[in-house]
A and B are shown apart, each in its own frame.
Chain A
Amino acid sequence: MKRAFPILAVLTTLFVAYGFYLGLFVAPTERTMGEVQRIFYFHAPSGWTAFWLFFVNFIASVQFLASAKPSTQRAANWIVIAVGIAGAIAPFIPQVRQELPTGVYPGSVATTMLLLPVVYLLIGKYFPGRNLDALAVAAAEVGVVFCTVVLVTGPLWARPVWGIWWTWDLRLTSTLVLWLIYVSYLMLRRLTDNAQTPVLAAVLAVFGALDVPLVYFSIWFFRTQHPQPVIGGGGSLDPRMASVFWTNVAAFSCFGALVCWARYRVELMNRDVEEAHAVESLQDVGSSAGVEAKPAKRRSML
C-alpha cells in the first residue's frame, strides 16, 4: 500500500486534470449562461463527493456506536440488512411507485438501497474497532473541504446568472447548515479531549447526516432559486455535457477517496504518537514504581 499511494496520486491527478480539460475546453458552451456554466463541471461533482464522504462518515459513526457491544453490533447489522432489502422492494410497490418524483426510477432507488447494507458491512469488516472512528474523522474533514468548494463556487456561478451572490432558499441554506454541522463536528473533535469525545462526535454525525437527504432532495420536492435537477428528476442534459459531468464525478470521487485515505493514515499515525507518548509517560511513572510498560506498535504512513 505504501508503494501504491504515489502511483494512485499521479493517476488521480491526471484524471482530475483530464476532467478539467473536458469541462473547460471540450464540453459545449451552454446557450443562455455562456462560459460561466462550466463551473457546473466542478461545482456539482464537488457536491457529490462531499455527499458520499458524509455518507461514509455516517456509516462509520453508526458502526462505531454499534460496536460498543457484540450483541448491539449484530442487531445493527440485521437492521441495516432489513432496511436495505425493504428499501429495495418498496419502490416496486405500485402505491410507493406513484409517489416517486419524475425521473426517479424504482431500479435506481432499489440499487441505492441495496448498496447501503453492502457499504455498511464492508466498512465494518475493513475498519474494525477504533479505526472506524479514524475513518469517520477523515471522511468528515475531507467532506468539509469539498463542501467548502461547493459553497464558494456556487455564489461565483450565481452572481452572473441570477444577479445575486446568495439567497436563503432551501437548497443553499440546507447546504450551509450541512457545512456548519460538520465544521462543529470537527471542532468538537479538536477542542475536546476525553474518552467520550468519539461517542459524542458519532452521535452528532448521525444527526448531521439527516441533513444530506434534505439538501439532495430539496430541489426535487420544493420550488427553489437553485435550478431543478438536470441529472435524473426529469431534467435533460446534453449527452456531451452529461459525459463530461460523469467523468468529472468519477475524477473528483477518486480524488476525494485518495485524500480521505491519506487523512485516515495521518489520523492513525496521530493516535500512535499519542499512544506512544502515553506509554512513555507511563514508563516514567512505572520506572519509579518498578513496572515496565510495552511501547505501542507503530504504523507506517500510506
Chain B
Amino acid sequence: MNSVRFLYAALIATALIHGTYLISLFRRYRRLRQQMKDLGK
C-alpha cells in the first residue's frame, strides 16, 4: 500500500495548523504590546 504520501500530508497539515495559529498568536501579542506602549506614552 503506497500510503506514505498520506503520512506526509498529515505531517504537513499538522505543522501548518499549529504554525498558522502560533503566528496569529504572536501577531496578536505584538499588536497588544504596541498598544500598551502607545497607551503608556
Contacts and interface: CB of A to CB of B under 8 A. Distances in A.
Interface of B: 1, 3-4, 6-7, 9-11, 13-14, 17-18, 21-22, 25, 28-29, 32-33, 35-36, 39-40
B29 A160 contact: no
Contact of B36 (A153, A273, A280): A273
A157 interface: yes
Report the contact-size class of chain A (Cβ under 8 Å from the partner).
Answer: 20 to 34
A152 B25 contact: no
Contacts, number: 78
A36 B14 contact: no
Contact of A298 (B4, B22, B28, B36): B36
22 contacts: A33-B3, A35-B3, A35-B4, A36-B1, A36-B4, A36-B6, A42-B10, A42-B14, A142-B21, A145-B17, A148-B17, A149-B13, A152-B10, A152-B14, A156-B13, A160-B6, A259-B21, A266-B25, A266-B28, A276-B36, A298-B40, A301-B32
Contacts of A74: none
Interface in A235-264: 259, 262-263
A39 B6 CA distance: 9
Contacts of B39: 273, 276-277, 280
